[in-house]
Structure 1
Amino acid sequence: MKILVIEDEIDLQQSIKESLVKEDYLVETASDYHSAIEKVFVYQYDCILLDIMLPHGSGLDILDELKQAGKTENIIIISARNSLDDKLKGLELGADDYLTKPFHLAELNARVKAVLRRKNLAGENGIAFKNTRLDISERLFFVNGQNISLNRKEFDILYYFLLNKKRLVTKTGLAEYVWGDNSDQADNLDFVYYQIKNLRKKLQDAQAEIEIESVYGIGYKLMEI
């Protein structure tokens, strides 16, 4: 799962990033309005942590642009401004939660998990499809109730497929989601193919009633067997 931290206080930004990485999230950062706008409109994120006061612009303006573009990201405002007007404006523009600085990182992590459950998983802790279930909180995968070991990348790939089951997932989109914007620097996407190959074998060996189909030259689809 992929999170963007938009925060200009570098020490706080790094503390948040380190805390979320320990929870096995893929975390990217932006420190000002312009770099934040570029990332939110180029890449896809499961959750965005957004400071209101940024160099060269406001986090509320970012929210407004996302709303106008119809992008329904999971957004938690993190701000030193404990203003009712700011909270109401942020929620009106589409923010899902508002956390006032200073805050405990454990509370932030809990808020992130709650937003993901509420928006992506309809309040549940996992996703079930046919005879499989992905437990998001514990990062476990089950086939017919039996735990199947997945590495971090395999888990994130399967999560992305389950969120987009029966829909086309491009190789580029999958690479950006699981490996982050650093995937743009890769000479090819062979690393995606190898992870998909390993995941397919695990699904087959476990007799999962789902499979990852290739769409020649474009990407993949997760389908039921």
Structure 2
Amino acid sequence: MKILVIEDEKELQQNIVDSLTKEHFVIETASDFRTASEKLDLYQYDCILLDIMLPQGNGLTLLEELKKQGKAGNVIIISAKDSLDDKLKGLELGADDYLTKPFHLAELTARVKAVLRRNLLDGKNTLEISNLILDLNERTLLINNENVPLNRKEFAILKYFLLNQNRLVTKTALAEHVWGDHIDQSDNFDFIYYQIKNLRKKLQLAAAALEIEAIYGIGYKLVAT
């Protein structure tokens, strides 16, 4: 899952990034209104942590734009402003939650996971398709009730495919979702081919009822066998 942290306090931003990275999320950051606006226009995120008071603008303005685009339902406002008016306005604009600074990172992580369950998985902790069960909490894959070990990237890739079953997934979209900001540093997609190749082999050996189909020159699609 990919999360955008919009926070101008450098130390807090880094603490949030470190905490959520340990939970195996892909994290991108923005420290001001303009950068946040550009990233929200260019990329899709599973969850957005949004500070209200930002250099160059107000976080609620970003939330208003997200609402117009129908993307405000995965936002958690994090702000030192604890006034009822700001909280109500944020929730009215579609934010899922509101957390007042200072807060414990464990609580933030719990709320992020709750938002992801509600918005992406209808509150469930597992993805069950055909003979596959992907447990998002335990980070395990069962095929025909047998455990299939996956590395961190393989798990993230399979989860993305399961959430987008029968949809065309471009190589760029997959790379941005699983690798985040660091994708810009890559000259090619060889690292994706390597992970996909290994994941395909594991699914085949475990007799999965799904396979990753290559769409030449574009990307991949997860389909039933």
The verdict on a shared fold, with TM-score over 0.5 as the criterion, is yes
Q: How far is 1:185 from its partner? A: 2.8
The residue type equivalent to 2:107 in the other structure is E
The residue type equivalent to 1:157 in the other structure is I
- Residue of structure 1 equivalent to 2:13: 13
Whole-angstrom CA distance in 2 between matches of 1:32 and 1:7: 7
Whole-angstrom CA distance in 2 between matches of 1:126 and 1:83: 37
Residue 170 (structure 1) aligned with residue 190 (structure 2)? no
Distance 1:71 1:186, change over 3 A: same
Instruction: Specify every segment of 5 or more residues in structure 1 that has no aligned partner in the other structure, as ranges.
Output: none
The number of residue pairs the alignment matches comes to 225
Q: How far is 1:73 from its partner? A: 5.2
Q: How far is 1:88 from its partner? A: 1.2
Q: Which moved more, 1:148-157 or 1:37-46?
A: 37-46
Q: How far is 1:47 from its partner? A: 0.8
- Residue of structure 2 equivalent to 1:99: 99
- Residue of structure 2 equivalent to 1:197: 197
- Residue of structure 2 equivalent to 1:120: 120
- Residue of structure 2 equivalent to 1:220: 220
- Residue of structure 1 equivalent to 2:137: 137
Deviations 1:151-200 (A, max 9, x none): 11111111111111000000011011111122123211111111110000
Q: How far is 1:69 from its partner? A: 2.1
Paired residues of 2:72 and 2:95 also in contact (CA < 8 A): no
- Residue of structure 2 equivalent to 1:210: 210
- Residue of structure 1 equivalent to 2:149: 149
SS in 2 for 1:90: helix
Whole-angstrom CA distance in 2 between matches of 1:135 and 1:197: 22
Whole-angstrom CA distance in 2 between matches of 1:101 and 1:89: 17
Whole-angstrom CA distance in 2 between matches of 1:83 and 1:131: 49
Whole-angstrom CA distance in 2 between matches of 1:191 and 1:42: 23
The residue type equivalent to 2:178 in the other structure is V
Whole-angstrom CA distance in 1 between matches of 2:44 and 2:133: 24
Whole-angstrom CA distance in 1 between matches of 2:201 and 2:191: 16
Matches of residues 46-85 of structure 1 in structure 2 within 5 Å? 46-72=46-72, 74-85=74-85
SS in 1 for 2:29: strand
Structure 1 outlier segments of 4+, above 3 Å: none
- Residue of structure 2 equivalent to 1:4: 4
TM-score, normalised to structure 1's length?
0.97
Identity of aligned residues (%): 68
Distance 1:28 1:84, change over 3 A: same
Whole-angstrom CA distance in 2 between matches of 1:183 and 1:173: 10
Paired residues of 2:63 and 2:72 also in contact (CA < 8 A): no
Whole-angstrom CA distance in 2 between matches of 1:221 and 1:149: 22
Instruction: Specify every segment of 5 or more residues in structure 2 that has no aligned partner in the other structure, as ranges.
Output: none
Paired residues of 1:76 and 1:97 also in contact (CA < 8 A): yes
Q: How far is 1:72 from its partner? A: 4.6
RMSD: 1.0
Paired residues of 1:46 and 1:73 also in contact (CA < 8 A): no
- Residue of structure 2 equivalent to 1:90: 90
Whole-angstrom CA distance in 2 between matches of 1:59 and 1:148: 43
SS in 1 for 2:28: strand
Whole-angstrom CA distance in 1 between matches of 2:47 and 2:91: 15
Whole-angstrom CA distance in 2 between matches of 1:182 and 1:73: 26
